[in-house]
Amino acid sequence: MRGTSMKLQSLRRTVLGISAAALLAAGAAVPGHAAEAADPVLRDLAAAHGISYGTAVTGAKLTGAYADVAGAQFDSITPGNEMKWGSVEPVRGDFRWSGADAVVDFAEARGQKVRGHTLVWHSQLPSWVENGSWTASGLRTVMTEHIKTAAGRYKGRIDHWDVVNEAFDEDGTRRQSVFQRTLGDGYIADAFRAARAADPAAKLYLNDYNVEGLNAKSDGMYELVRSLKAQGVPIDGVGLQAHLIVGQVPPSLQANIQRFADLGVDVAVTELDIRMQLPATEAKLAQQKADYAAVTRACLAVSRCVGVTVWGFTDSDSWIPDFFEGQGAATPYDEGFRPKPAFYGIAEALGWTGDPGPGPGPGPVDGCAVAYAVQNQWSAGFTAQVTVRNTGTAPVNGWQLAWTWPSGQSVTQAWNAAMNQSGASVAAANVPYNASIAPGGSVTFGFNGAWSGGNAAPAGFALNGRPCATGTAQAG
Ligand code: G2I
């Protein structure tokens, strides 16, 4: 699934601990957010239908506003990376639990379920496992010991374990992981048996991506689940990851959930995100809202579908921009923790009938102008300043300014904006203290960049998807 986009993690800004965002999460008034007091609570709406709504989290970010939203809105937490083999047992027999412990403690303190992710997976495997020269019995021992230790440590505290993750290739045959190559088809049954022995109360899941609709891969998974059930292997559920693309929710999603349910297992949507080509526009965000609603409705329609987990609740904590060049905006909250239309799509699918208000950002913009100035330039670097003016009549409540570099420049460090670059596409989003631009008002942010060959200004800018005039934004 890995794309080619460049990583700009050093540029990623979180807004943890910023008081405005914390207030937002607590439901109080924040400039630029219209409907806080009436905002729905997904975990309550979901509970009324007997399903769960969860999120993956980054354990190290569980403080401030990020923690507030994760705790208030969701009833299930999945550690995004902290329970993976490479995180917990990087060296054979040397277990490191602090990251995973912190996530489990967080969830328990808020009455949330925990999805354990994941016990046996070909990726994020420590090299001593992936590159060891194993006999079958040697690797089987290592695998079952790992399961026994990890599932045993959290015995009674994990609601669902993703016991085996991503075991299939796209054609529905087995992925040739080190486990498959060394142990053969039986490793999956062995892993489930070991997990059941280690934590009898946890629901044990087989989890994969691109298995949401009826297709060759989900057929392979279906056949395996059927045969595991027939052999009495302790499997309780199937996880459909659902890393989807805007406008492309598989029409057969509900039918596929139903056919797994009919085998006598639970089904969960375990890693939902719905990505788009950046910049986000109102039209794409509206389609994304419909898509999040459609996935939620498909789960509600099948009684054995136990819930949905989003793979990161905020665009500031999503794997998508790092893995798919030029894509992002895949989650229900924007980078400043404002609920997006997608959030209201989920709520409406769960029966909420309130008014989302004019709209937490990125909201409509009825006029904008941008002034872009390189202030300083040296051999390979430069400093630029960008002023964005609201030339319309309505306030801008939450903003994202997008542009494309004409000659291969890149952003290296930003101030007064949260900037991400993927390929040549740049997105600069407000930080909590400059989210609102009154009519006639402006905001200014700056950044350092790298260039070589040429350093021409971008040809155009779009504010929340709307093209802006250029060259006229400076305060008069
Ligand atoms: O790839 C998306 C998901 C597909 N299904 C299984 C999930 O476990 C997987 O999650 C992602 C995490 O969201 C990413 O955060 O798995 C990726 C690795 O395959 C995670 O990315 C890794 C980066 O590749 C590392 O460079 C980074 O050190 O995250 C690590 C921790 O931030």
Summarised one tens digit per residue, pLDDT across range 235-261 is 999 999 999 999 999 999 999 999 999
Q: What is the pLDDT of residues 77-135, one digit of tens each?
A: 999 999 999 999 999 989 999 999 999 999 999 999 999 999 999 999 999 999 999 99
What amino acid occupies position 471?
Answer: G
What pTM, to 2 d.p., does this model score? 0.76
Looking at the structure, tell me whether residues 166 and 202 fall in a common domain.
Answer: yes
Q: What is the distance in A from the centroid of ligand 1 to the CA of 66?
A: 19
Looking at the structure, tell me whether residues 219 and 102 fall in a common domain.
Answer: yes
Rounded-to-integer distance, Cα 220 and Cα 238, Å: 13
| CA dihedral of residues 170, 331, 84, 150 (deg, nearest 10) | -110
For residue 172 the two structure tokens come to 């529905």
Looking at the structure, tell me whether residues 193 and 264 fall in a common domain.
Answer: yes
User: Are the CB atoms for 99 and 59 separated by under 8 Å?
Assistant: yes
Kindly state whether residue 211 falls inside one of the protein's structural domains: yes
Is there a cis peptide before residue 296, judged by omega within 30 degrees of 0?
no
pLDDT band at 15 (very low <50, low <70, confident <90, very high): very low
Looking at the structure, tell me whether residues 26 and 170 fall in a common domain.
Answer: yes
pLDDT of residue 424: 86
Number of the ligand 1 atom closest to the C-alpha atom of 209:
5
Looking at the structure, tell me whether residues 330 and 380 fall in a common domain.
Answer: no
Region 418-446 average pLDDT: 87
Number of the ligand 1 atom closest to the C-alpha atom of 117:
8
Residue 322: closest CA among 1, 8, 55, 14:
8
Kindly state whether residue 112 falls inside one of the protein's structural domains: yes
- Smallest CA separation from ligand 1 atom 30, residue: 81
- Smallest CA separation from ligand 1 atom 23, residue: 319
- Smallest CA separation from ligand 1 atom 28, residue: 81
Looking at the structure, tell me whether residues 206 and 310 fall in a common domain.
Answer: yes
pLDDT of residue 472: 59
Kindly state whether residue 162 falls inside one of the protein's structural domains: yes
Measured CA angle at 61 (ends 59, 67), to 5 deg: 95
Tally of structural domains, the chain? 2
Least confident among 108-112, 126-130, 400-404, 410-414: 400-404
Domain ranges, residue 398: 368-470
Looking at the structure, tell me whether residues 127 and 169 fall in a common domain.
Answer: yes
Give the domain-ending residue among 320, 349, 378.
Answer: 349
Active site residue 170: no
Kindly state whether residue 424 falls inside one of the protein's structural domains: yes
Residue 396: closest CA among 322, 338, 320:
338
Q: For residue 425, what is the domain's CATH number? A: 2.60.40.290
Measured CA angle at 279 (ends 275, 284), to 5 deg: 55
E strand spans, 216-279: 237-240, 243-245, 266-277
Catalytic pick among 166, 212, 335, 348: 166
Would you say residue 266 has pLDDT above 80?
yes
Would you say residue 2 has pLDDT above 60?
no
Q: What is the distance in A from the centroid of ligand 1 to the CA of 368?
A: 37
Q: What is the distance in A from the centroid of ligand 1 to the CA of 309?
A: 16
Looking at the structure, tell me whether residues 236 and 263 fall in a common domain.
Answer: yes
Q: Which residue's structure tokens are 């350093």?
A: 455
Give the domain-ending residue among 318, 349, 380.
Answer: 349
Give the domain-ending residue among 319, 349, 379.
Answer: 349
Rounded-to-integer distance, Cα 50 and Cα 476, Å: 57
- Smallest CA separation from ligand 1 atom 10, residue: 80
- Cβ count near 171 (within 10 Å): 10
Looking at the structure, tell me whether residues 65 and 212 fall in a common domain.
Answer: yes
- Smallest CA separation from ligand 1 atom 25, residue: 124
Kindly state whether residue 429 falls inside one of the protein's structural domains: yes
Kindly state whether residue 372 falls inside one of the protein's structural domains: yes
Kindly state whether residue 316 falls inside one of the protein's structural domains: yes
Region 58-73 average pLDDT: 97
pLDDT band at 351 (very low <50, low <70, confident <90, very high): very high
pLDDT band at 392 (very low <50, low <70, confident <90, very high): confident
pLDDT of residue 232: 98
Looking at the structure, tell me whether residues 279 and 415 fall in a common domain.
Answer: no
The three-state secondary structure class of 164 is strand
Rounded-to-integer distance, Cα 342 and Cα 328, Å: 14
> What does each C-alpha distance from 251 to 60, 195, 247 come to in angstroms?
37, 34, 11
Ligand 1: which residues within 6 Å by Cβ? 1, 80-81, 123-124, 165, 209, 241, 271, 319
pLDDT of residue 5: 31
Number of the ligand 1 atom closest to the C-alpha atom of 318:
13
Active site residue 166: yes
Catalytic pick among 36, 271, 335, 348: 271
User: Are the CB atoms for 220 and 256 separated by under 8 Å?
Assistant: no
Which residues neighbour 191 within 8 Å (Cβ) at sequence distance 6 or greater? 119, 120, 143, 144, 147, 163, 164
Kindly state whether residue 360 falls inside one of the protein's structural domains: no
Q: For residue 257, what is the domain's CATH number? A: 3.20.20.80
Number of the ligand 1 atom closest to the C-alpha atom of 118:
8
Would you say residue 465 has pLDDT above 80?
no
Number of the ligand 1 atom closest to the C-alpha atom of 123:
19
Looking at the structure, tell me whether residues 333 and 437 fall in a common domain.
Answer: no
For residue 105 the two structure tokens come to 């403690």
Looking at the structure, tell me whether residues 306 and 403 fall in a common domain.
Answer: no
Q: What is the distance in A from the centroid of ligand 1 to the CA of 431?
A: 25
Q: To test the ligand 1 pocket, which listed residue (81, 166, 275) has its Cβ within 8 A of the most ligand atoms? A: 81
